[in-house]
């Protein structure tokens, strides 16, 4: 559990899920300039910067994320913003939102350095 006490998965579980043909949304809440530095390339990736969510609320979310039963794995740089967005989603009725502990930084360090670091 994160400091916000939201459900989490670690980057090893994320890597396992990415390797399977499972249906989920990997919601990256980092800003555009961060994506230029490091990014996981996957068809299930949806990018919605936290600043856009703060501005537009649920309206900022893509169709795949608006389904409150969808499995949503929320990721950021180190896991702080993803925990905040996960908490926000859960408070609004999403059932299967989890934060990726350690974010893209942990993924790059522990799983695949080719995704980039910053």
Is residue 4 scored above 80 in pLDDT?
Answer: no
Interval 35-46: pLDDT, tens: 999 999 999 999
Q: In this structure, is residue 2 part of a structural domain?
A: no
Name which of 3-7, 76-80, 81-85, 93-97 the model is least confident about: 3-7
Q: Which CATH number fits the domain that encloses residue 110?
A: 3.40.250.10
Is residue 31 scored above 70 in pLDDT?
Answer: yes
Is 18 in contact with 93 (CB distance < 8 Å)? Answer: no
Task: For residue 56, give both structure tokens.
Answer: 């537009």
* CA distance linking residue 46 with residue 67, whole number of Å: 14
Residues 6+ apart with CB under 8 A from 108: 38, 115, 116, 117
| Triad 40, 41, 45: Cα angle to 5° | 85
Q: How many domains does the chain have?
A: 1
Q: In this structure, is residue 80 part of a structural domain?
A: yes
Q: What percent of the chain has pLDDT over 70?
A: 97
What domain range includes position 82? 8-115
């Amino acid at each position: 559990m994160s400091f916000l006490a939201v459900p989490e998965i670690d980057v090893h579980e994320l890597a396992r899920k990415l390797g399977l043909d499972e249906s989920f949304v990997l919601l990256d809440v980092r800003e555009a300039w961060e994506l230029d530095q490091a990014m996981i390339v996957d068809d299930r990736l949806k990018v919605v910067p936290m600043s856009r969510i703060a501005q537009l609320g649920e309206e900022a979310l893509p169709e795949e994320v608006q389904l409150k039963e969808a499995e949503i794995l929320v990721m950021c740089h180190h896991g702080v913003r993803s925990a905040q967005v996960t908490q926000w989603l859960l408070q609004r009725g999403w059932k299967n939102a989890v934060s990726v502990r350690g974010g893209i930084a942990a993924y790059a360090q522990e799983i695949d350095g080719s995704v980039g670091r910053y």
